[in-house]
Amino acid sequence: MPGRKRTALSYHSPRQKRSRARSRPQMPVPQDAVPELQMPVPQEIDLAVPEVTLPKGLRYEPDNFKQELSIGSLRANCLHCAAYKFPGETPAMCCSNGKVDLQPLPALPSPLNELFGGEALNSKHFLENIRKYNAVFQLTSLGCKEANPRGWNPQFRIQGQLYHLIGSLHADGQNPPSFLQIYFLNDDDQVARRKSIFDGLLHPVLLDIQESLKENHKYAKEIRCAYEFAASQDLQDFSIIIKESARPAGTHPGRYNKPDFKEVAVLMPNEPAGHRDIVLRLRDNGLRRISEIHGAYDSLQYPLLMPFATDGWNLDLKMTSRYKITQNQFYCFHFFTRLGNYLLQARKLFQLYLVDA
């Protein structure tokens, strides 16, 4: 615009600004202008922790640790189920004050009784390798989704829950027989196949266990009998079914009345099966999951712990009242120490059964 003087704009870089600031003369500051810093006087701090009354179980009294730690001794103090318990355990832990009235597991047959005892020949070897011996005789396999965390991890971790799987009656031809399929071989081939699964298994021990289960395990016997019957009738397409609806061994007949019929039978292609029944087909490439509320769930997986195939927990078990027995109540009853309870002698196999239960 006319009459207005134009001024030129100047731009200074950051480097130029710093150099100009250093070139400016610094004005001296008088000594009396600097304020004297006053340091605060340290105060006494009370570090005493206020007294808090903790629950009895959380109190730490060092004087008590000089004595030997003891939680008492086991004694048969349950008037209902004769379970051995420690003094601090509640009366309802074992049998809910008599409301859970179950039959104990039957005594082990010979020679399993001698092997569990720890004093017979090969008993020490058997107990040290009891999980391997159970694995070569189990009729089902253990399934789970394994969790693989990063880095080195010596533990076996799973995601979700454990479950049991069962295959077909015959092998697919590409793999050797396993689990239930081994029971359909002749006696010599059964021992040879089981001995090849793990190293170090003794032939006499395998033969003794095989003869005992062949005579006592009801599912191993009835499945083989049903298979031989179907083969003698020249049936080409059939299945074998383990029925769910049968009176469990741990219930009283007066509390659960049902007609006596075989739990294992031959199933033709057009015959229906219950949704919880275990159906075994001749040949099937896949594995089928077993319902965890089936009475045979435990005995098919742990034949050495249930050599008579005693039925486990199921929906038909009831207390002395009208209420049903829960899984927790069932396993608490069987896991307590009693005379004749051999489960606690099974070492690592008992630990596996605990985790599975």
pLDDT in tens, 113-155: 999 998 888 999 999 999 999 999 999 988 777 666 677 666 6
For 174-197, write each residue's pLDDT tens digit: 788 889 889 988 999 999 999 999
Which amino acid type is present at position 47? L
Q: What is the pTM of this model?
A: 0.71
Determine the pLDDT at residue 62: 57
CA angle 342, 345, 350 (to 5 degrees): 95
Is residue 248 within 8 Å of 317, Cβ to Cβ? yes
The mean per-residue pLDDT over the stretch 33-58 comes to: 57
Mean pLDDT, to the nearest integer, of 266-295? 70
Which of 322, 323, 346 shows the shortest CA–CA distance to 334? 346
262 or 66, greater pLDDT? 262
